[in-house]
């Protein structure tokens, strides 16, 4: 049987210029984390240390250890699951091989050889600049040369991320020792055919002895099948009668089946491959209709409105992301009502742990190939690397039922058409051949069970503008960059794949990241941890459209920017969900952050939930009420019909009820009902608003910007229970009440975000991690809308 031995011990790190003695190294890991552990560099996440460690990405680095390969097996392989990125692998000074792709694994024959193992990493900058010099300049959204090397693009910085260009063995390293033959690759096709679950395993075998007869035996759900290996290939087909179907969360359960395939020589097991699979079908309806060209997911024949989030690498140093951290972050997504996670193209193909958790939680995965916001050369050495990485990762990720879409790139087709690239390229290659040629061919050959789309945004062909909202996927960034978020209501895209609004992270996150700094919107550390072009200017203009700008009051600025983020996203999602099935999904930019930063994320770089996160729980719930102009939209994504009576009240901010009515509604399963609001209940001015309630679901509609609303001074009573829960009882209107739990203790978390209370109402906010409950502290941590200053 194949024997695998992890190589995690005894590694040291050296720099090429003799800067320091050898340092102990962790594998998996990277240069930055090793230097940080040794105290050579400061934490780049704190203050402005990022700029002080920029030199690390410009150096060459070498990892070394002693390798002992003695074994009774016929063959010994040295296996690297991931090398970041440009490396030369040597054993006792003799070159085993060279690499230039972070997204691939590598295997070297070291049979009978022992000695000093060295892995020398060339600066990714040096490689990228050399390729750029050979192939010519290509345009990109950022000045860094990320498109010239097959590496996580956002390690070169992004409009939410630091520039920390890593190197190292970022995924596990091991020795594999084996005899006769081993399993080189298993390509699982999992389908449902007329109610029967089918698992077809195409097996590639590597041999040391060509003539030996081999067989493969596979099992799933009690079924067992054997097949002969013809040379180096074999195929096993198993059928499972009436399998339990895997469903997205909210639509059913997520049963997973263990599949095991064993390579046999006679009755002796040589190698084994194990995975979990789920039986389900997935289709992407892109048919034309009277509204344009659709983009609707259907799982097991059930059409769904995708409640999505965009996912970036959860740490700029991906080797630090553990299975537990994936589970925590993805569970946060599921708890917010999310059912689709898009793995964005400026990052990585995530580890198996990520997809395993998505399988278990019922989170659909949209997987970008790693191309983003740039023109990518199609010549060698990049072209061969692109196809090799695509082939490896398509097969690696195929077992996961959560994976429902392969996407060719992020914004590159749009960039070619709208960002001046076409003129600057003057006929040079830019990636179209990847997105419309190489990648769809690879997916069609290896994974025909899943749909492929050339990019996001993409209208389906060059017959339409790539970002035409009426065709395919759409990205909405004009709103954040130049307009008020009310502009989201102008369009009904077929699928909103990116949109969002910025806000700073939690106060405790800022205090940890900016130690000793007197916080202000434009303090040095705050500006350094704001990577978006004119990000603070856009935050300011966004506030000025709705509130009086709180000059000199950081706490108020912090609260209002977080309120504005939640309201902006709510404006979009409510509108688009109300227009299902024309619009078939929203994918918020973004769920998470890779470091502490002001960004579009719902969960900040320290894992703390912003108010937006809690707002998502309302926006992505199965049942949603929203007032759209003169209409109450009753959105029902549940499996059962929702019928009842909605209570509508026209009120003044002083608390008077000017009129009320009860209106009947009936929304079918996975459907939207629209009910006219009686004319007499429509607010007549900035001092009035409309409230709709049905079955514990509420919609509040304030027709005027806050700066025009004559809010009374908020009056409420606060009590704190021994368990730390905080109850707020309103004596008048209290709009957008927020308990910032991290002001009570850095470890404290609240179980809800913004809440609006009418006179006489109360809310109890659960608080965990608060060690010394105190009423005065709770009151000081509460914020809400106040009269304009």
Residue among 341, 414, 417 at smallest CA distance from 373: 414
C-alpha angle 105-106-111 in degrees, rounded to nearest 5: 145
Residue among 763, 765, 733, 769 at smallest CA distance from 749: 769
Q: Please tell me whether the peptide bond between 21 and the residue prior to it is cis, using omega within 30 degrees of 0.
A: no
Residue among 338, 288, 290 at smallest CA distance from 311: 338
Number of other CB atoms surrounding residue 600 within 10 Å: 26
Number of other CB atoms surrounding residue 525 within 10 Å: 20
Cα distances from 67 to residues 3, 29, 63, 92, 111, in angstroms, run 16, 19, 12, 10, 11
Question: In the 8-state DSSP scheme, what is residue 187?
Answer: E
Dihedral angle computed from the Cα positions of residues 47, 50, 55 and 60, in that order, rounded to the nearest 10 degrees? 130
Report helix, strand or coil for 309. strand
Nearest-Å Rg of the Cα atoms of the chain is 28
Tokens matching residue 267: 């009755």
CA–CA dist 185, 397 (Å, integer)? 12
386: which residues sit within 8 A by CB, 6+ positions away? 150, 434, 438
Note whether 493 and 583 are within 8 A (CB): yes
Which secondary-structure segment (H or E) carries 200?
strand 196-207
Which secondary-structure segment (H or E) carries 615?
helix 611-619
Residue 149's Cβ-side half-sphere holds a number of Cα atoms within 13 Å equal to 30
Where does residue 426 fall: left (phi above 0), alpha (psi -120 to 50 degrees), or beta otherwise? left
Question: In the 8-state DSSP scheme, what is residue 351?
Answer: P
317: which residues sit within 8 A by CB, 6+ positions away? 30, 32, 33, 164, 166
C-alpha angle 178-179-180 in degrees, rounded to nearest 5: 135
Tokens matching residue 12: 């040291």
Note whether 476 and 482 are within 8 A (CB): no
* β-strand partners of 297: 284, 304
Residue among 251, 308, 240, 310 at smallest CA distance from 277: 240
CA–CA dist 747, 495 (Å, integer)? 37
Classify strands 473-475 and 495-498 as parallel, antiparallel or unpaired: parallel
Does 387 participate in catalysis according to the annotation? Answer: no
User: Out of 350, 389, 411, 609, which one is annotated catalytic?
Assistant: 411
Question: In the 8-state DSSP scheme, what is residue 245?
Answer: B
Helices (H) and strands (E) in the chain, counts: 17, 45
Which amino acids are annotated catalytic?
A: 411
């Amino acid at each position: 049987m194949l024997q695998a031995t992890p190589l995690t011990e005894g590694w040291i790190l050296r720099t090429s210029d003799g800067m320091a003695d050898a340092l102990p190294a962790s594998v998996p890991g990277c240069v930055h984390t090793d230097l940080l552990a040794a105290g050579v560099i400061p934490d780049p996440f704190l203050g402005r240390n990022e700029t002080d460690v920029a030199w690390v990405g410009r150096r060459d680095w070498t990892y070394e250890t002693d390798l002992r390969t003695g074994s009774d097996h016929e063959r010994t392989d040295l296996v690297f699951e991931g090398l970041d990125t440009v490396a030369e692998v040597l054993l006792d000074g003799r070159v085993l091989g060279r690499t230039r792709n972070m997204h691939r694994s590598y295997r070297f024959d070291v049979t009978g050889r022992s000695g000093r193992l060295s892995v020398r990493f060339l600066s990714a900058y040096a490689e990228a600049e050399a390729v750029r010099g050979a192939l010519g300049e290509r345009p990109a959204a950022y000045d860094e040369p990320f498109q010239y090397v097959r590496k996580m693009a956002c390690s070169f910085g992004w409009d939410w991320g630091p520039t920390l260009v890593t190197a190292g063995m970022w995924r596990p390293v091991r020795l594999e020792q084996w005899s006769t033959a081993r399993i080189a690759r298993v390509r699982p096709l999992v389908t449902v055919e007329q109610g029967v679950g089918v698992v077809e395993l195409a097996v590639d075998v590597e041999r040391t002895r060509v003539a030996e007869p081999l067989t493969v035996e596979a099992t799933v759900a009690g079924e067992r099948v054997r097949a002969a290996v013809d040379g180096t290939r074999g195929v096993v087909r198993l059928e499972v009668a009436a399998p339990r179907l895997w469903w997205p969360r909210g639509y059913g359960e997520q049963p997973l089946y263990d599949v095991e395939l064993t390579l046999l020589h006679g009755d002796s097991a040589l190698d084994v491959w194990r995975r979990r699979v789920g039986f389900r079908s997935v289709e992407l309806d892109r048919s034309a209709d009277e509204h344009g060209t659709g983009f609707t997911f259907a799982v097991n024949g059930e059409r769904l409105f995708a409640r999505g989030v965009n996912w970036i690498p959860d740490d700029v140093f991906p080797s630090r992301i553990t299975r537990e951290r994936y589970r925590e972050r993805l569970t946060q997504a599921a708890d917010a009502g999310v059912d689709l996670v898009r793995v964005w193209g400026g990052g990585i193909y995530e580890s198996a742990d990520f997809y395993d958790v998505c399988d278990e939680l019922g989170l659909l995965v949209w997987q970008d190939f790693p191309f983003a916001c740039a023109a990518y050369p199609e010549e060698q050495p990049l072209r061969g690397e692109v196809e090799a990485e695509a082939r490896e990762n398509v097969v690696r990720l195929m077992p996961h039922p959560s994976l429902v879409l392969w996407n060719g790139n992020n914004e590159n087709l749009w960039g070619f058409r709208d960002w001046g690239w076409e003129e600057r390229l003057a006929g040079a290659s830019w990636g179209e051949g990847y997105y419309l040629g190489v990648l769809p061919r690879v997916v069609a050959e290896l994974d025909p069970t899943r749909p492929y789309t050339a990019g996001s945004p993409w209208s389906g062909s060059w017959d339409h503008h790539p970002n035409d909202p009426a065709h395919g996927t759409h990205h909405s960034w004009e709103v954040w960059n130049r307009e008020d978020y009310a502009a989201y209501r102008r369009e009904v895209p077929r699928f909103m794949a990116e949109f969002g609004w910025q806000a700073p992270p939690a106060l405790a996150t800022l205090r940890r990241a900016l130690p000793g700094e007197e916080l202000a919107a434009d303090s040095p550390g705050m500006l350094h941890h704001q990577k978006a072009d004119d990000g603070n200017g856009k935050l300011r203009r966004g506030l000025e459209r709705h509130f009086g700008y709180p000059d000199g009051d950081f706490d108020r600025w912090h609260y209002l920017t977080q309120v504005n983020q939640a309201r902006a996203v709510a404006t979009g999602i409510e509108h688009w969900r109300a227009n299902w099935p024309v619009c078939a999904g929203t994918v918020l930019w973004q769920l998470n952050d890779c470091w502490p930063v002001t960004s579009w994320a719902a969960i900040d770089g320290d894992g703390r939930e912003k108010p937006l996160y809690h707002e998502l729980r309302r926006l992505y719930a199965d049942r949603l009420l929203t007032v759209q102009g003169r209409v109450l939209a009753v959105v029902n994504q549940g499996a059962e019909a929702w019928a009842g009576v909605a209570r509508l009240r026209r009120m003044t901010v002083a608390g008077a009820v000017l009129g009320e009515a009860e209106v009947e509604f009936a929304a079918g399963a996975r459907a939207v009902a629209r009910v006219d609001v009686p004319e007499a209940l429509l607010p007549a001015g900035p001092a009035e608003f409309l409230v709709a309630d049905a079955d514990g679901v509420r919609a509040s509609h304030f027709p005027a910007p806050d700066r025009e609303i004559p809010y009374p001074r908020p009056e409420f009573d606060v009590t704190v229970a021994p368990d730390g829960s905080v109850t707020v009882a309103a004596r008048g209107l209290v709009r957008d009440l927020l308990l910032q739990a991290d002001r009570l203790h850095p470890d404290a978390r609240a179980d809800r975000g913004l809440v609006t209370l009418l006179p006489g109402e109360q809310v109890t906010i659960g608080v965990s991690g608060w060690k010394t409950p105190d009423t005065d502290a709770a009151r000081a941590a509460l914020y809400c809308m106040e009269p304009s200053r």
